[in-house]
Amino acid sequence: MKNFVTLAETLHFTKASEQVFMAQPALSRQIKQLEQSMGVELFKRDKRNVALTKAGRYFKQAAQLNIDQLTYAINRARQIHHGEAGEIKIGYTHSIVQTILPKIITEIRAKFPQVKTILREMSNNEQYKDLNEQKIDIGFATNPVVPENLKSKVFFEDVFVVVLPEKHPLLKGAKKNFSAFSAESFILPHEIEGSGYLHTVESICLDAGFFPNVIHHTSSVSSAFKLVEAGLGITIEPKGSLSGQSLALKYIELDNIPQKAQSVILWNDNTEHEHMPILQLIKRTINI
């Protein structure tokens, strides 16, 4: 079909055969075979001239359209094969989108403009499940307990903060001894949504001599913040989770405790096979 289009544009067998790197008799036979297979006369020929028939003019347009579509499909498939096109599905916890995720997406967009990025805010446990089922390609979790079949790397440590309504009485004097919050009601995620993270938060309380009185469970950090703002309890979050917040909240940094909020990237073997260029780009972006 490409050779047909070349001849249809040049209307000269010698010029066309030179452009397609084919001997003129071979090109002539090929065009004749095309016409026979279609049962259509595409060219009018005489000793001096070659001209397209009415059917030939139509077929030239249709052939060029199909060639363009096939060329696009081939290039697209090649890009997808090399991880330069298609889509990348990323799961993340709240603090990630408030900190590093926008930079990661910007880098992907700049380097791989043909790649569609699909983002889902998810708990740690949801990320483990969806990575195993290849429903997401990369996860960003906070203090995860990483299953053995997944690969992971810590790339950032943040301090925890206790988040309070802006007029909470314990803000006076900015008490940093966490045991002062032992009588407070807490708003925390449920264990089913990320046992590693919850156990870390509970250990902060246990080190201060009490077990938290949890009155509300929510996996949504935004929901937790709204409940805190309404005076329904307090919560503990990585400091980065508060970035960009405009709620009536205050926080106290727990910078004198050993526990830290660890941001961890998760991936699987399929990610390395299907999306290695993007995975490498993300690793460079987060400096691992």
The DSSP H or E segment spanning 86 is: strand 86-92
- Distance (Å, whole) CA 237 – CA 197: 10
Q: Which CATH number fits domain 2-81: 1.10.10.10, 1.10.4160.10, 3.40.50.10860, 3.40.640.10?
A: 1.10.10.10
Q: Tally helices (H) and strands (E) across the chain.
A: 11, 12
User: Which residues contact residue 259 at a Cβ distance below 8 angstroms, ignoring those fewer than 6 apart?
Assistant: 160, 200, 203, 204, 207
- CATH fold of 160-259, please? D-Maltodextrin-Binding Protein; domain 2 (3.40.190)
Residue with tokens 């008799």: 25
Q: Which residue has the higher pLDDT, 6 or 193?
A: 6
- Residues 1-55 pLDDT 10s: 999 999 999 999 999 999 999 999 999 999 999 999 999 999 999 878 999 999 9
Report the mean per-residue pLDDT for the chain. 91
Q: For a pLDDT cut of 70, what percent of the chain falls above it?
A: 97
Least confident residue range of 23-32, 94-103, 259-268 = 94-103
Q: For a pLDDT cut of 90, what percent of the chain falls above it?
A: 70
pLDDT at 229 over 80: yes
Give the pair of three-digit tokens for residue 135.
């429903």
278-287: average pLDDT? 94
Per-residue b or e along 82-110, where b marks 16 or more CB atoms closer than 10 Å to that residue's CB: ebbbbebbbbbbbbbbbbbbeebbebbee
pLDDT score of 62 = 94
pTM, two decimals, is 0.69
Domains 86-156+263-285 and 160-259 in one fold: yes
Separation in Å, CA 282 to CA 10, 134, 188, 203: 49, 18, 30, 31
Whether 285 and 153 have beta carbons less than 8 Å apart is answered as: no
Give the pair of three-digit tokens for residue 6.
């070349």
pLDDT score of 175 = 57
pLDDT at 76 over 90: no
Domains in the chain: boundaries? 2-81, 86-156+263-285, 160-259
pLDDT band at 173 (very low <50, low <70, confident <90, very high): low
pLDDT score of 85 = 65
Residue type, 19: Q
Q: Domain 86-156+263-285 carries which CATH code?
A: 3.40.190.10
- Residues 239-250 pLDDT 10s: 999 988 889 999
